Chains A and B, each alone.
Chain A
Amino acid sequence: MTELAPVRFVAKNMRVDLELIAGMIEPNTRVLDIGCGDGALIDYLFRTRGCDARGIEIDMAEVTRAVAHGLPVMQGDADNDLVHYPDNAFDYVVLSRTLQAVEQPLEVLRQMLRIGTRAIVSFPNFGHWSLRWQLLSTGRMPMTQTWSRMWYETPNIHPCTIRDFFDLCDAEGYVVDQWLAADEAGRRAPWRRARLLANLFGEQGLFVLRKAVGPSAETR
């Protein structure tokens, strides 16, 4: 039996995935990347887009690597550290492939849209056909490249589907500015306009959210 890779918060396949996210961020803006790993995205945003980009990362070895590269990263996590930031401190708050691993996804999203104007969220889609097929055909928890750990040791404690996430945005009153489904490597899948197909064939969902403006949001 091969030895398991050391436990990481989430498996990340950074490069292409990050390019998609970077493409959604305006130049010269303030960005907070939660779960920033070694800081590849903030490095890219600082160097190519002039952004004031900062990061939070739970894994101390990654934090040390990022800071040793001159990147402003602090040790912390989405569940416990967002609450300390002031309102509207950032233009974008990014949570890449981490939402399914936080303890309180609803609260994390609320905090993201409190401290930032826009939230960029990506997550692995549990509605992908291969997962559905494995569950149906084997009767066991699916195992894929993304969902690669046994149910009792996975850090991904809150899996959801792209449809589920749309429902959550409706319930919370979040406006979906942009969304797309992508494959594991982060390449766009052609399912942007058809939610049901995206939910079947997209390996991950990527959303740009903002709070609804106007009286409905104020009175909520």
Chain B
Amino acid sequence: MDQTPLPQINHQHETFTEGLLLDCGTVLAPLQIAYRTYGTLNADRSNAILICHALTGDQYVAEQQPLTGKPAWWGNLVGPAKPVDTNRYFVICANVLGGCMGSTGPRSPRSTGSEDLWGIDLPPITIQDMVRAQKMLVNRLQITRLFAVVGGSMGGMQVLAWASLFPEAVFAAVPVATAPYHSAQNIAFHEVGRQAIFADPDFFGGRYWEHGVVPSRGLAVARMTAHITYLSEAALTRKFGRRLQGNNALSPVLFGERFAVESYLEHQGSSFVRRFDANSYLCITRAMDFFDLAADHGGSLASAFRGSRTRFLLVSFSSDWLFPTTESRILARALNQVAANVSFVEIISDKGHDAFLLDEPDFHRTVSGFLGGAAEAARLK
């Protein structure tokens, strides 16, 4: 498996020398946030939409990823004449705090000029920390109110944190395929992935860069495990079934014949290690695990949104078992409790959690219409 360390790319970024006070009490300084923008900010700076990416996403939401050369990860939703129309809206997407695409994270130096990197010693990051860092970027861009904040999965958690921390700065919020807390089952799957990374002999206690290697075997297994949770049984059956790679004769060697689903997962794992940092994976999965909006508000999820004037669109997908519809419904009811303006749609799809990234016409129509209605209510030109 590929042992090459991730190349350093110079990403577009802003630096905040004052740093950020994290939830854990540590000040992380300096703070660097890498980001991309699309479209044009209008004269009264009222048409900005912030896109929040998921666990292994990045800021290249609507353009080719520079490292992998792969097409935009949300190109079917964000772009010219797309539901999040960059001809109309000014779209911002930032790499999350703790990430490995240019924002401050485990690959950053411990302090200015320091040779030593944070690695696994980076102070724990929360979803709220990620959002506060994004708020600093939005402030730097001189935008006082975002027209909308949109995100799926962990991006959806950030949308909820935005609406809760900065209600006046969010006119409309679109949390997709997400939940107000990370479930025990989801934490369990994350832990399997983390243990695989820890068990990799190339992990070296998180200081693998000193040895010129990456714990690629462990990181690949983590990705394979996680990838299963992004799909559904129906999708796996439809794509692979019980198909074998070669001829269907029983091989005389135990692992001579491989199922199509096995080599698919293997491919997912090996391509992932070429674009993602293992310590970032540890750092960000931990941030997701600790996300619990109700617990942060004395056990009342509704309290997180009291008095909110934000317009919400909640979207879930029928075959998503990682962030099931029941969890979006919990959110919808909490928003009802504070009489918030909420739209809630479950999109029928057999593609599992991944559906939010795929070509789902009903989902795209819904987002487009919701943003159009919100723009009318906001009197956006």
User: What is the interface of chain A, defined by CB distance below 8 A to chain B?
Assistant: 52, 54, 60, 63-64, 67-76, 81, 84-86, 89-90
Q: Which residue of B lies closest to A32 (CB)?
A: B339
- A-facing residues in B337-381 (Cβ within 8 Å): 337-339, 341-348, 362, 365-366, 368-370, 372-374, 376
A86–B365 CB distance below 8 A: no
A52 contacts across to B, CB distance below 8 A: 341
A174: min CB distance to chain B, Å: 23
Could you list 30 A-B pairs, sorted by A, with CB under 8 Å?
Answer: A52-B341, A54-B342, A60-B348, A64-B345, A64-B362, A67-B313, A67-B369, A68-B369, A68-B370, A69-B369, A69-B373, A70-B370, A70-B373, A71-B343, A72-B341, A72-B342, A74-B314, A74-B343, A74-B344, A75-B344, A75-B346, A76-B344, A81-B333, A84-B333, A85-B336, A85-B337, A85-B339, A86-B337, A86-B338, A86-B339
User: What is the interface of chain B, defined by CB distance below 8 A to chain A?
Assistant: 311, 313-314, 332-333, 336-339, 341-348, 362, 365-366, 368-370, 372-374, 376
A96: min CB distance to chain B, Å: 20
Among the listed A69, A75, A84, A89, which residue makes an inter-chain contact with B345, where contact means beta carbons less than 8 Å apart? A75
What are the nearest 3 A-B pairs in CB distance? A70-B373, A68-B369, A74-B344
A89 to B339, CA, bound (A): 6
A60 contacts across to B, CB distance below 8 A: 345-346, 348
A72–B337 CB distance below 8 A: no
B370 contacts across to A, CB distance below 8 A: 67-68, 70
| A67, A73, A84, A90 — most chain B CB neighbours (10 Å) | A67
A81 to B341, CA, bound (A): 15
| A52, A84, A85 — most chain B CB neighbours (10 Å) | A84
B348 contacts across to A, CB distance below 8 A: 60
A70–B337 CB distance below 8 A: no
Among the listed A70, A74, A86, which residue makes an inter-chain contact with B376, where contact means beta carbons less than 8 Å apart? A70
A72–B347 CB distance below 8 A: no
A71 to B342, CA, bound (A): 10
B343 contacts across to A, CB distance below 8 A: 67, 71-74
B345–A70 CB distance below 8 A: no
Q: Which residue of A lies closest to B364 (CB)?
A: A68
A64–B339 CB distance below 8 A: no
A33 to B366, CA, bound (A): 20
Among the listed B336, B338, B341, B345, which residue makes an inter-chain contact with A67, where contact means beta carbons less than 8 Å apart? B345
B336–A64 CB distance below 8 A: no
A73 to B366, CA, bound (A): 11
